[in-house]
Homo-oligomer: A and B are copies of this chain.
Amino acid sequence: MGSTFGSVFRIATWGESHGGGIGVVVDGCPPRLPLGVEDLQRDLDRRRPGQSHLTTQRDEADQAEILSGVFEGRTLGSPIAVLVRNADARPEAYEHLKEVYRPSHADFSYQAKYGIRNWQGGGRASARETVGRVAAGAIARRLLAEVCGVEVVAWVSRVHNLGSDVNPATVTSDAVDAHPTRCPDPQAAGAIETAIEAARGDGNSLGGIVTCVARGMPTGLGDPVFDRLEADLAKAMLSLPAVKGFDIGSGFDAVAMTGREHNDPFVPGDDGPTTGSNRSGGVQGGISNGADVIFRVAFKPTATITSAQETVDTDNQAVTLEARGRHDPCVLPRAVPMVEAMALLVLADHWLRQRMVEVLAD
């Protein structure tokens, strides 16, 4: 049951890195939404491996097929099934990982949990698993665009010790995609590119931060007390591979502020109160207040590195591992569409849930 996400806009993803394919079933998308495979392909292309010299060299076109739920260009209200075949699978390349546990990878914990493990490319514990999420996120994006104009943009704001200067209020997807690092600050992007290449050359890897903003937010999204908007976003982000942290608005920086410094003053707006600052990150009490929702996601450096590491094998014996196979030296560039997808899924779910709240007159 761990592969189902969402309460009313609900997705079930499936697939392993080297199995028959990978995909998703979206159950709960409203009918009559204009939708074509090209809506999905744009985001899948941004996620796919081999898209630049900074990513894994596994070559997957990741061509999606919509198997159900769409008729004559519009959704039917029935489940939308999406299939992406695995093309460039090379299980034999992982043979050397069959009896060894990579440090900080899921090899050991999967074996401990399930008593069985698909060692080919990590099986389910592979970034390839996110194909289904990104396809579903693209459907959520289309829905939100149609019903309320919410726009979600994520970008690489930091890699290792290299920060960037980006304005969340104005940054565009085009600017993000303009550089293979997906950092829309050109100067930082260049430095990050160099750092990632150096890490790869060194058999090492780098982590970083993806920042994400949702603009054009309606008020009222989020369901206290447990399904607060920030709680569902936090779960969504921590469910992505390699994520170690999440914060929203002021986040961890709030700790060092006093209430007087931190509180966002309300100011009269044209359509009701707005806030003069946005340390809240667009949520108060778990509910969107109309300001931009802005949050950060911390990614650790890729666990699979090619330099030698001490570890143990499946017989609990110490061994030295030099991992091969095709891996991203830094997951950040490809994580951008994943973060966007998960944010879109949460927002679509809550937008639909809010339809059930607004049914009686004030």
Interfacial residues of chain A within 1-51, with CB under 8 A of chain B in the complex: 1-5, 7-8, 10, 12-16, 19-23, 25, 27-28, 30-33
- A104 and B7 CA atoms in complex are apart in Å by 28
Which residue of B263, B268, B310 contacts A265 across the interface (Cβ within 8 Å)?
B310
Of the A-B pairs whose beta carbons lie under 8 Å apart in the complex, a sample of 11, sorted by A's number, is A23-B67, A31-B115, A77-B114, A109-B283, A160-B255, A225-B239, A234-B235, A244-B249, A252-B252, A254-B299, A255-B299
B residues in contact with A209, CB < 8 Å: 252, 255
By the criterion CB–CB under 8 Å, are A14 and B360 in contact? no
Q: Is the CB of A362 within 8 A of B115?
A: yes
A238 interface contact, C-beta 8 A: yes
Is A251 among interface residues, defined by CB-CB distance under 8 A?
Answer: yes
Q: Given A123-B76, A268-B318, A284-B108: A116 and B31 within 8 A (CB)?
A: yes
Q: Which of A52-60, A166-174, A185-193, A200-208 contacts B (4 or more CB under 8 A)?
A: A200-208
Whether A273 and B5, one on each chain, are in contact in the complex, defined by CB atoms closer than 8 angstroms, is no
Given the interface pairs A103-B264, A160-B258, A287-B106, the reply to whether A360 lies near B78 with Cβ below 8 Å is no
Known contacts A258-B206, A312-B273, A356-B352: A12-B27 contact under CB 8 Å: yes
**CB <8 Å contact, A225 and B3:** yes
Q: Which residue of B lies closest to A307 (CB)?
A: B260
Q: How far is the CB of A106 from chain B (nearest CB, A)?
A: 2
Number of interface residues of A (CB under 8 A): 160
Q: Name A302's contact: one of B259, B264, B301 (CB within 8 Å).
A: B259
**A158 CB-CB contact with B under 8 Å:** yes
Contact A361 B32 (CB under 8 A): yes
Residue pair A223, B300 in contact (C-beta under 8 Å): no
Contacting residue for A266 out of B101, B228, B258, CB 8 A = B101
User: Nearest chain B CB to A195's CB is how many angstroms away?
Assistant: 10
B259 lies within 8 A of A224 (CB): no
Residues on B with C-beta less than 8 A from A106 are 224, 284-287
Could you tell me the distance between the alpha carbons of A257 and B269 in the complex, rounded to whole angstroms?
44
Task: State whether the Cβ of A177 lies closer than 8 Å to any Cβ in chain B.
Answer: no
Query: Is A279 located at the chain interface by the 8 A CB criterion?
Result: yes
Are B28 and A108 in contact (CB-based, < 8 A)? no
A2 to B283 alpha-carbon distance, docked (Å) = 16
| Shortest Cβ distance from residue A63 to the other chain B in the assembled complex, whole angstroms | 13
Q: Is A290 part of the contact surface with B, judged by Cβ < 8 Å? A: yes
Give A341 to B223 CA distance when docked, in angstroms: 20
Known: A112-B287, A309-B263. A316 touches B352 (CB 8 A): no
